[in-house]
């Protein structure tokens, strides 16, 4: 564009046609430059960009189709419109198949020309915008790849540089407790226990953060999952199973689903672990695992009669390190629900919670995958 006006390059070996167009089109908001040969047109395109190439189809030095190809090699966003006589419409259609946007029949109708040119400008703007978006996508992709490489390097650093000293602290403190605990005062023993507990929490936190950071690069291994069997397996391994607690666990209808079995197991393990943890003061504790229809989706849920939480803070539940209860009340790293949310999102589903203070909580999640058994047909 020049001064905000669209620019046209008019190419025709008939000088009268060129002059007529270059005299008329500026009156309708265009900057028109005319040349009488394809060679001159290519020279002008190398000197400055144009929005639209308006070219005759039949010219002695080069036909319009070849000119358009050469011109778009110079400027891929250039829009070509062919001018042709009634006897060469078939060739004009071939020109459109070769990349021309449209054609205009001679003798010209001004209204027809303006309609075609307006559409050509819209296409030009779309091409430029699409190219800008594609470039931005490439840049963003490169940024994400660089960020992932940095995250991998960070994960390696965390794994080697932070885990090692924590293990040393944990190991030496454990040996000190084992061999010399009797020589420490009560306060000394309490301080030593604090060191051991803190080192253990640090190791668990690093493990959870590494698992969280690597999750997006874990390829989904999708298969038919018997959700009921998977949940029963999780319950056999659940935390607190051997503790002196009465936990009433009910398993409802759990339809099969196509998902990553390992990741889906992690979802139920984390949700059940939370339910066990937050019902610690209930006698008896009650946990229900089942499914129900929510709108058009099948939602799995884990429900408990634990301490619950204030729904005003539900929006913060799934953030990394998010905690609605103190470490002293209920230990944990605050990473578990973030991990669950990321797994659910990777399956195309969503997760949410419903709760009330001291009245328990229910966590729901959906999976955008087939929920009928494998022999149910498609």
Considering the domain architecture, whether residues 202 and 153 belong to the same structural domain is answered as yes
115 within domain boundaries: no
The pLDDT assigned to 161 comes to 72
On the question of pLDDT at 374 being above 50, the answer is no
Considering the domain architecture, whether residues 322 and 289 belong to the same structural domain is answered as yes
| Domains of the chain: total | 3
194 within domain boundaries: yes
157 within domain boundaries: yes
The pLDDT assigned to 336 comes to 77
Mean pLDDT of the chain: 83
pLDDT digits (tens, 9 = 90+) for 221-237: 899 999 999 999 988 87
Model confidence at 94, pLDDT cuts 50, 70, 90, reads: confident
On the question of pLDDT at 323 being above 60, the answer is no
Considering the domain architecture, whether residues 283 and 352 belong to the same structural domain is answered as yes
As a whole number of angstroms, the distance between CA 342 and CA 73 comes to: 44
On the question of pLDDT at 164 being above 60, the answer is yes
The pLDDT assigned to 212 comes to 66
| DSSP structural state of residue 353 | E
The pLDDT assigned to 150 comes to 74
pLDDT digits (tens, 9 = 90+) for 178-221: 888 889 898 888 889 888 888 877 777 677 667 666 666 667 88
| DSSP structural state of residue 61 | S
Model confidence at 70, pLDDT cuts 50, 70, 90, reads: very high
Considering the domain architecture, whether residues 163 and 101 belong to the same structural domain is answered as no
Model confidence at 301, pLDDT cuts 50, 70, 90, reads: very high
The position carrying tokens 């004009």 is 92
The pLDDT assigned to 279 comes to 86
Task: Lowest mean pLDDT of 14-18, 180-184, 213-217, 271-275, name the range.
Answer: 213-217
Model confidence at 102, pLDDT cuts 50, 70, 90, reads: confident
Give the DSSP H/E element, type plus range, for residue 190: helix 186-214
Domain boundary among 57, 85, 108: 108
314 within domain boundaries: yes
State whether the Cα torsion 334-340-343-349 is positive or negative. Answer: negative
The position carrying tokens 């539940």 is 317
As a whole number of angstroms, the distance between CA 185 and CA 2 comes to: 87
As a whole number of angstroms, the distance between CA 326 and CA 321 comes to: 12
Considering the domain architecture, whether residues 200 and 248 belong to the same structural domain is answered as no
Considering the domain architecture, whether residues 259 and 368 belong to the same structural domain is answered as yes
Give the DSSP H/E element, type plus range, for residue 33: strand 31-35
Q: Which domain holds residue 236?
A: 223-376
Residue 362's CATH number: 3.30.565.10
On the question of pLDDT at 378 being above 60, the answer is no
On the question of pLDDT at 372 being above 60, the answer is no
Considering the domain architecture, whether residues 313 and 185 belong to the same structural domain is answered as no
Model confidence at 111, pLDDT cuts 50, 70, 90, reads: confident
The pLDDT assigned to 319 comes to 65
| Among 206, 340, 208, CA closest to 263 | 340
77 within domain boundaries: yes
């Amino acid at each position: 564009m020049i001064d905000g006006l669209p620019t046209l390059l008019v190419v025709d070996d008939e000088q009268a046609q060129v002059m007529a167009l270059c005299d008329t089109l500026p009156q309708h908001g265009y900057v028109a430059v005319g040349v009488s040969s394809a060679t001159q047109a290519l020279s002008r395109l190398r000197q400055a960009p144009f929005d639209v190439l308006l070219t005759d189809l039949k010219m002695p030095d080069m036909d319009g189709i070849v000119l358009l190809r050469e011109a778009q090699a110079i400027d891929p966003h250039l829009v070509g419109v062919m001018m042709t006589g009634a006897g060469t419409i078939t060739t004009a259609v071939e020109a459109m198949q070769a990349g021309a946007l449209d054609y205009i029949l001679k003798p010209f109708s001004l209204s027809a020309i303006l309609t075609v040119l307006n559409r050509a400008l819209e296409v030009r703007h779309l091409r430029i915008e699409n190219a800008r978006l594609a470039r931005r996508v490439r840049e963003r992709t490169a940024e994400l790849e660089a960020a992932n490489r940095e995250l991998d390097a960070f994960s390696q650093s965390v794994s080697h540089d932070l885990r090692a000293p924590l293990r040393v602290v944990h190991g030496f403190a454990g040996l000190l407790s084992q061999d010399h605990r009797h020589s420490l005062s009560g306060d000394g023993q309490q301080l030593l226990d604090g060191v051991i507990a803190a080192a253990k929490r640090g190791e668990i936190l690093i493990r959870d953060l590494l698992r969280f950071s690597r999750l997006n690069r874990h390829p989904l291994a999708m298969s038919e999952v018997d959700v009921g069997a998977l949940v029963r397996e999780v319950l056999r391994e659940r935390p607190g199973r051997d503790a002196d607690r009465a936990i009433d666990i009910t398993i409802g209808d759990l339809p099969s689903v196509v998902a990553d079995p390992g990741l889906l197991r992690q979802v139920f393990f984390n949700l059940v672990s939370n339910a066990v943890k937050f019902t610690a003061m209930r006698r008896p504790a009650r946990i229900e695992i089942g499914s129900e229809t929510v709108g058009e989706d099948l939602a799995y849920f884990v429900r408990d009669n634990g301490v619950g939480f204030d729904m005003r803070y539900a929006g913060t539940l799934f953030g990394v390190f998010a905690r609605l209860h103190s470490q002293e009340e209920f230990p944990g790293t605050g990473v578990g629900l973030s991990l669950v949310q990321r797994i659910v999102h990777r399956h195309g589903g969503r997760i949410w919670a419903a709760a009330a203070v001291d009245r328990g909580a229910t966590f729901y999640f959906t999976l955008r995958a087939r929920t009928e058994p494998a022999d149910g047909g498609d």
